[in-house]
Structure 1
């Protein structure tokens, strides 16, 4: 199964996020001072390479959450209120233990390893979340998230505290204007107070959807091609002096442009999504 993402899909998805979600898309109504962030644990996807690449391509998201709510791509999962017995009964209702018995045994997981249960918030589903590919998230005692998905258990690890602080700082200092859309081309402008270009870029790099894989230095131009089984993108980084960075990402079918400008103790970021 081919899982390489074309830009048409990638850009359309991001345009829909801009249209349907507020500027702090991932945080929803969560207090950013108390947010935690999670990334997929690729080494715990124990399947054949082709299937593993498919899982990564489909599920490699930055997850935001706290004790009350978890958000993935703008879809909210609310904390299930109840004790271990209630959680057990709820999971039995959806045949979780029956459907994932082999996976639970593989990872030596029991109900006592489950700390919290989160269920998709069906009372507040956006268009993006209708028919979402999974409806249940389990927080384990070791602070990993576990998502039951297509007869497999997918795990996400919490970022270290210093990295979480960088993302929360980005969100606290973010002020975004209304997006502008002409035909299928969308432009989004945000300002980040008291943050440099390097600060903004580094905080955004934790989100795999931005494809900011390069560790940047001021004035250092860069070009490369990232080619995975689930994604191909050609990137160009060009500095225009010390206070302006332009990044272009060429996917199969279109282009994403990022322009960072640092001025008056803040960084302005213009993002333009341009599918074919």
Structure 2
């Protein structure tokens, strides 16, 4: 265990990041899923689970043509190197430790891994995004004595996390459904999701409404700040409009009325306000 501690100390003090990325010429997008329990006891550089989750909330990653982009506003060139876990950690004991540790989070440490590093030490992609590792098609980084896991939106592991994430902590309110209120302001339902970001909550919302007659037409994936339109028919279409990175309004137009779904992010929490406006 001393070997493990020494290696982790090097990881933390040397600002080394472990990320697992499926890398290629086409665009790859990854979303923060969860942070692990403490890796070792009595670590000097650590933080609470809530603080770590807030730090990574909204920091989605995109890799395209040897370039890493963080949250659509920070990017840098990276290079990929093939290696093995033993060569990287320089210890069979450390590899054995991580093999068991990652298994707890459904990550398999294979015989070969890929390290992704920034080409320029002065690049904008700084700790904890300066060195990445590919492990079983998941992004894994060590930060504040915790493993941080990123997955692609289509990964079953990400979907499982999204479906089970904090449902008991979600707070929802509505304005009632008196006829005058509905005619004037629409029927409004607002739900707040703690320790979350717009992109991950949007994916959760989409996955939960796959069988809905209307919401099934929502896009499977979206990009922060990218406005778009989905046309189902001449009288049925959906518009996506961003107001900065912290607010997304989805307007659904169809015969019988309009529905606005507003995603807002504030202080690490995300709210969904649904407004039903009849004709």
Q: Same fold (TM over 0.5)?
A: no
Structure number with bigger Rg: 2
TM-score range, shorter chain: 0.3 to 0.5
